[in-house]
Amino acid sequence: FPQYSRGTVAAFAPFDARADAEALRKAMKGMGTDEETVLTILSTRNNAQRQEIASAFKTLFGRDLVDDLKSELTGKFETLMVSLMRPAYIFDAHALKHAIKGAGTNEKVLTEILASRTPAEVQNIKQVYQQEYEASLEDKITGETSGHFQRLLVVLLQANRDPDVGVDEALVEQDAQVLFRAGELKWGTDEEKFITILGTRSVSHLRRVFDKYMTISGFQIEETIDRETSGDLEKLLLAVVKCIRSVPAYFAETLYYSMKGAGTDDDTLIRVMVSRSEVDLLDIRREFRKNFAKSLYQMIQKDTSGDYRKALLLLCGGDDD
């Protein structure tokens, strides 16, 4: 894994796995649970340390920490704590597995993960998926999706995006023209051109293409995608474009819309907070503050409650006034 240092959660020091395991057992033993202890320990240790705590818990008490959390906690708070306990390398594979199981597919999860992860991360997700679930992620996804949406997912799953090595201005010009002709200038849309270019060109190349596209057409590429496509394909193309521009900005927006308006999309809120907490949550917070005139911390505070809120605020790691 690339070593990220823009997370809000880092290794806790001084760390004592056995002492944490004992404190957690005490917090969940007998009548009633001391949720405060549970959330404070699990939200402030990093994932590797949580795995050590789980192992110490089993060694000391012969009990499974995750099973105990599931039987002692409830609701969103339980979901958050259990998500924090999932080993980091399996987090995305597990989320995808649940997005394509049973009746109906959760396209939002497929979109969010496959649009935002690096090619190296996607290769890792595919390997872990195969090992853990003895199935091919690509086969599972193609079995549950269709049309251009499916094709773009398959392109992203190949994890063959061009490496970032210098930008060829002639190719930038050519790609921008191709996209212009495939969308705005055409009766109907040639989706395949969008899929190939957005799914395979390097990040720095595409950022130049977006600038050039604006110059040629007078539109942001997002406006064209919005007008020329619809449904799941539109959402996925937009997610890819936003992640090419800035992954932290994409997640800031994802978090904002998970809490904006009536009701909260807790699954998305939990998934993003947990999966980015050791990666780039500091950058996400900065983009959030810049783009939404309030801080992520303030929005979580306003939109959630109880132990669930306390744990999310610990993961958030601070306010950005």
Mean pLDDT of 301-315: 97
129-141, pLDDT tens digit by residue? Answer: 999 999 999 999 9
Q: Does residue 173 register a pLDDT over 90?
A: yes
What backbone phi and psi angles, to 5 degrees, belong to 77? Answer: -65, -45
- Rounded CA-CA distance 130/190 in Å is 34
- Rounded CA-CA distance 69/73 in Å is 6
Confidence label for 3 from pLDDT (cuts 50, 70 and 90): low
Mean pLDDT of 198-222: 97
Give the class (CATH, top level) of 169-245. mainly alpha
Rounded to an integer, what is the distance from CA 69 to the centroid of its chain?
24
What is the CATH number that goes with domain 17-87? 1.10.220.10
Question: Can you give the pTM of this predicted structure?
Answer: 0.95
Q: For the chain, give the mean pLDDT.
A: 95
| pLDDT confidence of residue 101 | 80
Mean pLDDT of 143-158: 97
CATH 1.10.220.10 fits 89-158, yes or no: yes
27-77, pLDDT tens digit by residue? Answer: 999 888 999 999 999 999 999 999 999 999 999 999 999 999 999 999 999
Query: Are residues 86 and 118 in contact, defined by beta-carbon separation less than 8 angstroms?
Result: no
b/e burial code for range 142-154 (CB count within 10 A of at least 16 → b): eebbeebbbbbbb
226-282, pLDDT tens digit by residue? Answer: 999 999 999 999 999 999 999 999 999 999 999 998 889 999 999 999 999 999 999
Query: Are residues 70 and 84 in contact, defined by beta-carbon separation less than 8 angstroms?
Result: no
- Rounded CA-CA distance 120/161 in Å is 10
Mean pLDDT of 135-162: 97
Is it true that the peptide bond before 248 is cis, omega within 30 degrees of 0? no
What is the CATH number that goes with domain 247-316? 1.10.220.10
| pLDDT confidence of residue 154 | 98
Q: Where are the domains of the chain?
A: 17-87, 89-158, 169-245, 247-316
Instruction: Write the secondary structure of 106-171 as one string of H (helix), E (strand) and C (coil).
Output: CHHHHHHHHHHCCHHHHHHHHHHHHHHHCCCHHHHHHHHCCHHHHHHHHHHHCCCCCCCCCCCHHH
What backbone phi and psi angles, to 5 degrees, belong to 263? Answer: 75, 155
Contacts of 21 by beta carbon, 8 Å cutoff, 6+ apart: 53, 56, 57, 59, 60, 61, 65
In CATH terms, are 17-87 and 247-316 the same topology?
Answer: yes
b/e burial code for range 51-71 (CB count within 10 A of at least 16 → b): bbbbebbeeeeeeebeebbee
Mean pLDDT of 219-229: 95
Percent of all residues in the chain with a pLDDT value above 70, rounded to a whole number: 98
Binning the chain into helix, strand and coil, the percentages to the nearest 5 are 70, 0, 30
Confidence label for 184 from pLDDT (cuts 50, 70 and 90): confident
Q: What is the CA radius of gyration of the chain?
A: 21
| pLDDT confidence of residue 4 | 60
| pLDDT confidence of residue 1 | 41
